[in-house]
Amino acid sequence: MEHPINPSEKTKLTHPLPPLSKAPHSSTPSTSSSGRASVYMLQFPRDHVLKMPSEDVQQQYKNYTKYKPIQRRIQRGCCRCVCTSICLIVILLVTVGCILYFGFRPKAPTYSLTNLSISGFEPLLTSSVTPINPSIVATVKTENPNKKLSILYQTNGTVSVYFDSTYLCSGDWPSFRQGPQNVTIFETNLTGSGILLTSLNRDSIVKAETNGSVPLMVYAKVPVKLKFSFITSWVVTVRVTCDVAVTTLTSKAAILSKGLNSG
């Protein structure tokens, strides 16, 4: 049988092609002058020859198609387990939170400044370029109004004092345990070193002290834990801001007014 020849394929013929007048796509085999059918040998590139895969390759393909659905089912099962576990944990946490809230009715503690002993501001009266070393001993009163809840004040708590957003001094908030319905009073030393005020801040402080009312802002950042019976919470950061006015920047300072904001 004569095979049609694709002109785009590079082929090598061992015999000359028949005349073009003969139909190349005819199913009737061409014959030579001797009456015998002409035989053509065609050579194709190796990459055009289709081969049957070996038995090993066929077995690997069968194994792959066999286990792939199983792997997908395992993955879907793992995803369901993870999602179910997360939902159960969230539901458990919400349930425990509701029980603790409605069972203990927690209330926020209250804080107040009872006394401020101030020193280190004397250079402001003589020079505007001399650095100051403020020192303030603050007496703080904390009250826990809860009946069944203890407050555990952690380490690394800080207290800072500012004048018109200008930093003056800072110190540590002590770590201690405050039981239910307990009132605790403590002192903390706040110090600053080499504080250089601008001429505007110096003039404002001197004028305020002359008028007998110096506004200061006390900021506290305290990490605490809440203890409900045998359950202890994670660390919660409490931020307290207190706007206070004092009569003078000396050890005889008296508190005129104060406003407390906590969060």
Tallying the residues shown for the chain, one arrives at: 263
Q: Which residues pair with 241 in a beta bridge?
A: 219, 261
Residue 79's pLDDT band, with cuts at 50, 70 and 90, is: confident
Q: Could you read off the pLDDT of 207-262 as tens digits, one per residue?
A: 998 899 999 999 999 999 988 878 888 899 999 998 999 999 888 888 887 766 66
The first and second tokens of residue 12, run together, are 């090598």
Q: Mind giving me the DSSP string for 38-61?
A: P-------GGGS--PPPHHHHHHH
Query: Using CA atoms, how far apart are residues 107 and 240, in angstroms rounded to an integer?
Result: 15
pLDDT surpassing 50 at residue 13: no
Q: Which two tokens stand for residue 32?
A: 């030579």
Provide the pLDDT confidence category of residue 84 given band limits of 50, 70 and 90: confident
Segment (H or E) for 34: none
Helix (H) or strand (E) holding 106: none
Rg, C-alpha atoms of the chain: 45
Residue 258: its pLDDT value, please? 73
| pLDDT band of 94, cuts 50, 70, 90 | confident
Helix runs in 49-172, H state only: 55-104
pLDDT digits (tens, 9 = 90+) for 148-200: 889 999 999 999 999 988 999 999 999 999 999 999 999 999 999 988 888 88
Residue 125: what are its φ and ψ, rounded to 5°?
A: -80, -15
pLDDT at 104: 63
Q: How far is CA 259 from the centre of its chain?
A: 33
User: Does pLDDT of 143 surpass 70?
Assistant: yes
Q: What is the pLDDT of residues 22-54, one digit of tens each?
A: 444 444 455 555 556 667 676 666 665 566 667
Residue 219 is predicted with a pLDDT of 93
pLDDT, greater one: 78 or 68: 78
pLDDT confidence bin for 21, thresholds 50/70/90: very low
CA 102 from chain centre, in angstroms, equals 30
Which residues lie below 8 Å from residue 231, measured CB to CB, with a gap of 6+? 100
Task: Extract the tokens encoding 185.
Answer: 């009073």
Residues 62-71: what's their mean pLDDT?
Answer: 62
Burial per residue of 48-68, b for 16 or more beta-carbon CB atoms within 10 angstroms, e otherwise: eeeeeeeeeeeeeeeeeeeee
